[in-house]
Every structure is written in structure tokens, then in C-alpha cells.
Chains A and B, each alone.
Chain A
């Protein structure tokens, strides 16, 4: 049914502009950014808080918190279908069945008044077409598969009766209950203990391998990226600074921001922080954006043109996975040529 081949993108976003309004300010949270993810692939979207990672990924699905007015332009396609022109009902079905979402803090993302198991069963019934009885069995097996011990007992539990790590496993089970084709994990380990973080990441990787679904991992944890990601998109102030295979971006970063970001990650093997280097300055105020490169004010390589012209995202290198960078200055300085 899909025009796309097995390896074509299953969720893709292009030229996305998202403005968020409150009565007093408007913020351009996403500024002409885009990404794509193919079945069986894990895309990591990295960037610091406020860079627009979550807004870019969940915004087209209508999954931003209520109370903020959103103005959204660009294109977003799921399995080739245009999401932004869908009716609210169609979009609801797509959110429930095609996408599964794991949120940051399972303690607040699960409804305190609802039992865990029945929610899973309902998803399985509505979206996987199971009978009530099958759906309950499926829910229990989903809980088991997510690594929750004694799943029959947990089925009837309320969120407050489970620990944070168990809740995130339940959240994962909930996201999987409708048998989605794209799993979006929005900082799935940020709210968890360090020991639990690794388990959750391992679980996501295992599910991804077994089901062959597309995974989008939104994170600022470079460690998680290196464990899970096939491809990485680096977001800065609502724009994509660099994207490419995880190996290219993590081992041969080109954009000054990506380099700065990687240099600021502490190396656990050295027991001091001397190896790390922070990026000076703070991200720009996205309520009053200047033309040109968003990173110009913090960049060591800044040139006059950086402040007037927005750098285009161009392909560098000739590898099978496109590696794109939005910085002509560093390319010129290091003799990197475009492969477009």
C-alpha cells in the first residue's frame, strides 16, 4: 500500500516551522528543520534543552501540551500520507495506532486514576483488532516482554503502586500495545536512576530489533545515542546543524556545535573533568531571532557572513548514509567538499 520501499522513510518531516504563542510572547521553536526515519532504523535527535527536539518530533502529531497556541507549517508524512492536512479523527487514529510514544517522566505521564493493564488491553483491542479476552492476554504478555515481573499482578495496579523504572517499562508496554510502526522515545531515561537507564535503553533496543520498527530517540544523552542510534540529527535553536550516520556524527563531527557538544561530554574513563570543554555562551533567544547562523554568537570560527546568511544544510562525504552539515565556514577551512 505504501509507495515507499522497505528502506524508504516511514515518518518524514521537511521544512518544518513551528511557532509557539502565549498571550505575551511568540517563540519560533522549530525553524525550517526536518528529519526522516526508516523502518528498522533508530534515529537519535540530540540537542540541548529548548532546541526544539520534542516540538519538532511530536508537534506534527498534535502532541504538544494544551495551553500553548501552535502555528505549524511545512510537511510531515507518515507512511507517505500527509499528516498536517488530516482530520482530527484520522490524526487521533494515527497517533494511537501508527505511533507509540514514551514520555520523559513516567510518574507524571501515566494517569494516576487509571489502572495500567486495562489501558494496554484497550490499545490492543482498538488498534490491533483483538477481542477483549485476547487483548487482556496481550496486555499481560506485553508487560512481561517489557521486563515487568509478575505481570498478572501488575495488570491491576495503579501507577503509584510501581517504581519509576517499572513505570517506564509499563509506559513502553503501553506505547507498544497498539503495535505501532514508529516508536518515539522522548528522553526516556532522563527521569530514571542511572542503573535503570541502561536497562530501559537495552529494552528499547531489543524491541527495535525484534519488531523491526522505526525508533526516534529524543535525547541529550550522548551515551544513549552511541548505544542505540543508527543515525543522528543534531538540533540547535530549532535548526538542524548536522545529520548523518551515528558513526560519522559521533566520530567525525563537522559542525562546530556538534564538536562542542561532543567535547562537553565527560569521559567516564578519566576521573576528572579536564578533558571536557564547555561551549561558551547560551543559546539565542528564540523569541527575537536574528538572521544568519543561530550558533554564530557562540562559535569560535564565526565570520561576518555567518551573521547575515543562514547556512544551508549540504552533504559532505560520499558514504551510503548522507552526512549533512550546515556550516560552509568549517568546510572551507578544512577543505571539505559538497557531494550534492
Chain B
């Protein structure tokens, strides 16, 4: 168990290193010249070739890629992600302002996806082929196939424009978070509801479920007490994957609802060829992906007695 734990952590660190190196290479390989951009910002139209060359030299842009990556990594490890070419503010500052916004979006969406998917999946399993089961199956299919930008626009039209219940843009108070949370939770909730339902069905047909009935439990007790613990592991794994994918959703959702999070910043960074900003945000995404997956793997290990307490030889 302990060895497995250390191996997973080590693997996660390696993965982060490889992924940041890859994004670093991709970002620098993208068209556009950082030195030219900086010169343009500083001197406007007066920027000439000499000035650009000097800036490139000062920033070490002429060094080989591995050297530049090593230098970037050294800075990043001390919390220095450079200065955004677009806003002129250090990325650490941008992070401090924007990460809470994005975290609030993801956390709310994650909780909503968790609650909705468990409720829908369990209700479907309880109904077992009945009308509730079929309606929820249909809803999950629609939810999983609706693009989030379209869904967001529909929510805004209905709840903001027609009903005027929530603002169309920005956040002010808890109600204004509802639409972004619902939008970002739609896809993961739908997929996870199916995961719960299908795994419940499989588990209910296993011999130990029959033992549960033989113990005198009612069907709902067998569902909740015998079957549900057994879907914990597949559910947690899928939830982890879906939760990390929500950061992709955040890029769209933050734009649509005018939230000043890292997703919205990322879009702007791409548009303004803010290479420093792009690399910083991508690094953040990598860390998020890898650490959530690591966390989920470790939690799943703890949830399974066969992994937590291996049989003694």
C-alpha cells in the first residue's frame, strides 16, 4: 500500500514534468515573436529590429529550448510564472485574483454533478425499468449530448432575459452562480448518472445482492447498503476524470457568463499571443489534472478494502 502510494506520487510528478515540457515546446513553437511583442508594447510603432534583438537577447530567447525550459522551471518552482504580456501584471498576481473564481465554479459544479448523478442514478436503479428510470435515461442522454455553450445561452435567455431571475453577466451573490454551475455540471452529471445506473444494475445482479435480500433487506436497503458501496470505485474514478474535464468547460462557461477566472484569461492570452500567460495557465491545468487524478486514485484505493487491506500471506 505504502509502496503503491509512493509510486503513484512519483509517477504524478514525472507526468507533470513531461506535460509542462511539452506545453512549453508547443507554446514556443506557436507563430509569433515574444521579443517583438514586448518591443511593440514598450515603444509602439517605434520598435525596430535592433531593439527586438536586444530584448530577445536580454530574455535569453536565443538560448536552446532545454536551457530555456530549465530556466522557466526553476522560476516556476519558486512561484514566478513571469509577467503577462497582455496585462503587464505578474502571473502570480493574476493567479491570486482568478483562481478563486475558477475554483468556486469547479467546486460548485462538482458538488452539483455529484449530487445530481447519485440522485439520478440511484432513483433510476430504484425504479428499475419503470417510468422514472426511462425518463432519467432520456434526460442523461440529452444532457450528455447538449453542447455547453448552447445550453448556457438557453439558460441565459430563459432565466435572465425572460424571467429576470439572475443577472446575465458577472457574479453578484449566490444566485448568480446558479447558471454557471448548472451549465458546467450538465455533462459530467449526465455521464456520471449513467455510470451510477449501469454499475448499480450490474451490482444488483451479483450473488451478494441476492444474499442481501436473503438477509431480509428491502430492495432499497440492498441498493443503498449492499450495492452502493460496490460502485464507489468505478464512480470515483469516473468522477475524477469528469471533474478534470470540467476545467475545459470552464474556458467556455467563464466567457459566456463573464466570470474573471483562469479559463477566460486563457482565451484572452491566446488571442493576444500572451505566451507567458498561456504557459502559466497550461501549467496550472497540468497540475490540476494530475493532482486530481492522483487524489482520486488514492481515495479509490482507500475505498476498496481489497487494496487497503491486502490479504495476509
Interface stretch (choices B98-106, B211-219, B246-254):
B211-219
Question: Judging by beta carbons under 8 Å apart, are A89 and B218 in contact?
Answer: yes
CB 8 Å contact bits of A249-277 with B (1 = contact, 0 = none): 00000000000000000000000000000
Contact of A67 among B205, B216, B226 (CB under 8 A): B205
In chain B between 193 and 250, which residues have their CB closer than 8 angstroms to a CB of chain A? 201, 204-219, 226, 229-230, 232
Interface size on A, residues (CB 8 A): 40
Question: Judging by beta carbons under 8 Å apart, are B204 and A66 in contact?
Answer: yes
**B interface, CB within 8 angstroms of A:** 128, 201, 204-219, 226, 229-230, 232, 304-306, 309, 311-312
In angstroms, Cα B212 to Cα A123, docked, is 11
Question: Judging by beta carbons under 8 Å apart, are A105 and B207 in contact?
Answer: yes
Question: Which residues of B have CB within 8 Å of A119?
Answer: 215
Contact of B210 among A63, A160, A174, A178 (CB under 8 A): A63
Question: Judging by beta carbons under 8 Å apart, are B311 and A108 in contact?
Answer: no
Question: Which residues of A have CB within 8 Å of B206?
Answer: 108
Question: Judging by beta carbons under 8 Å apart, are A103 and B218 in contact?
Answer: no
Question: Judging by beta carbons under 8 Å apart, are A65 and B229 in contact?
Answer: no
In angstroms, Cα B43 to Cα A217, docked, is 94
Contact of A96 with B312 at beta-carbon distance under 8 Å, contacts A103-B207, A109-B208 already known: no
In chain A between 267 and 324, which residues have their CB closer than 8 angstroms to a CB of chain B? none
In angstroms, Cα B309 to Cα A126, docked, is 29
Question: Judging by beta carbons under 8 Å apart, are B226 and A114 in contact?
Answer: yes
Question: Which residues of A have CB within 8 Å of B204?
Answer: 66-67
Question: Judging by beta carbons under 8 Å apart, are A113 and B216 in contact?
Answer: no
Question: Judging by beta carbons under 8 Å apart, are B229 and A174 in contact?
Answer: no
Contact of A66 among B209, B309, B311 (CB under 8 A): B209
In chain A between 89 and 103, which residues have their CB closer than 8 angstroms to a CB of chain B? 89, 92-97, 99-101, 103
How far apart are B225's CB and chain A's nearest CB, in angstroms? 8
Closest 6 CB pairs of A and B: A96-B216, A113-B229, A101-B214, A158-B305, A111-B208, A108-B207
User: Does chain B have a CB within 8 A of A62?
Assistant: yes
Contacts beyond the supplied A89-B218, A113-B304: 19 A-B pairs with Cβ under 8 Å: A63-B214, A88-B218, A92-B218, A96-B214, A99-B214, A100-B214, A103-B210, A103-B211, A103-B214, A108-B208, A111-B226, A113-B229, A119-B215, A158-B305, A160-B305, A161-B309, A171-B211, A175-B214, A178-B215
In angstroms, Cα B230 to Cα A108, docked, is 13
- Among A66, A119, A158, chain B packs the most CB atoms within 10 A around the CB of A66
Contact of A112 with B230 at beta-carbon distance under 8 Å, contacts A92-B216, A127-B216, A161-B312 already known: yes
In angstroms, Cα B214 to Cα A174, docked, is 10
How far apart are A328's CB and chain B's nearest CB, in angstroms? 39
How far apart are A218's CB and chain B's nearest CB, in angstroms? 14
CB 8 Å contact bits of A115-143 with B (1 = contact, 0 = none): 00001001100110000000000000000
User: Does chain B have a CB within 8 A of A110?
Assistant: yes
Question: Which residues of A have CB within 8 Å of B229?
Answer: 111, 113-114
Question: Judging by beta carbons under 8 Å apart, are B217 and A112 in contact?
Answer: no
Question: Which residues of B have CB within 8 Å of A127?
Answer: 216
Contact of A93 among B208, B209, B216 (CB under 8 A): B216
Question: Which residues of A have CB within 8 Å of B311?
Answer: 160-161
How far apart are A137's CB and chain B's nearest CB, in angstroms? 19
Question: Which residues of A have CB within 8 Å of B226?
Answer: 111, 114
Kindly report which residue of chain A lies nearest to residue B226, judged by CB atoms: A111
Kindly report which residue of chain A lies nearest to residue B215, judged by CB atoms: A96
How far apart are A191's CB and chain B's nearest CB, in angstroms? 11
Question: Which residues of A have CB within 8 Å of B214?
Answer: 61, 63, 95-96, 99-101, 103, 175
Question: Judging by beta carbons under 8 Å apart, are A174 and B215 in contact?
Answer: yes
Contact of A96 among B207, B217, B219 (CB under 8 A): B217
- Among A65, A122, A127, chain B packs the most CB atoms within 10 A around the CB of A65
Question: Judging by beta carbons under 8 Å apart, are B305 and A112 in contact?
Answer: yes
In angstroms, Cα B227 to Cα A24, docked, is 27
12 A-B contact pairs sorted by A residue (CB < 8 Å): A64-B210, A67-B205, A95-B214, A97-B216, A103-B207, A109-B207, A109-B211, A111-B230, A112-B208, A112-B305, A112-B306, A119-B215
In chain A between 160 and 193, which residues have their CB closer than 8 angstroms to a CB of chain B? 160-161, 171, 174-175, 178
Question: Judging by beta carbons under 8 Å apart, are B306 and A111 in contact?
Answer: no
In angstroms, Cα B304 to Cα A171, docked, is 21
Question: Which residues of B have CB within 8 Å of A88?
Answer: 218-219
Question: Which residues of B have CB within 8 Å of A122?
Answer: 215
Question: Which residues of A have CB within 8 Å of B306?
Answer: 112, 158, 160
Question: Judging by beta carbons under 8 Å apart, are B213 and A95 in contact?
Answer: yes
Question: Which residues of B have CB within 8 Å of A96?
Answer: 214-217
In angstroms, Cα B208 to Cα A110, docked, is 5
How far apart are B126's CB and chain A's nearest CB, in angstroms? 12
Question: Which residues of A have CB within 8 Å of B128?
Answer: 66
- Among B205, B214, B312, chain A packs the most CB atoms within 10 A around the CB of B214
In angstroms, Cα B215 to Cα A201, docked, is 22
In angstroms, Cα B313 to Cα A161, docked, is 10
Question: Judging by beta carbons under 8 Å apart, are A113 and B213 in contact?
Answer: no
Question: Which residues of B have CB within 8 Å of A113?
Answer: 229-230, 232, 304-305
CB 8 Å contact bits of A53-97 with B (1 = contact, 0 = none): 000000001111111000000000000000000001100111111
- Among B205, B210, B219, B312, chain A packs the most CB atoms within 10 A around the CB of B210
Question: Judging by beta carbons under 8 Å apart, are A65 and B217 in contact?
Answer: no
Kindly report which residue of chain A lies nearest to residue B209, judged by CB atoms: A66
Kindly report which residue of chain B lies nearest to residue A178, judged by CB atoms: B216
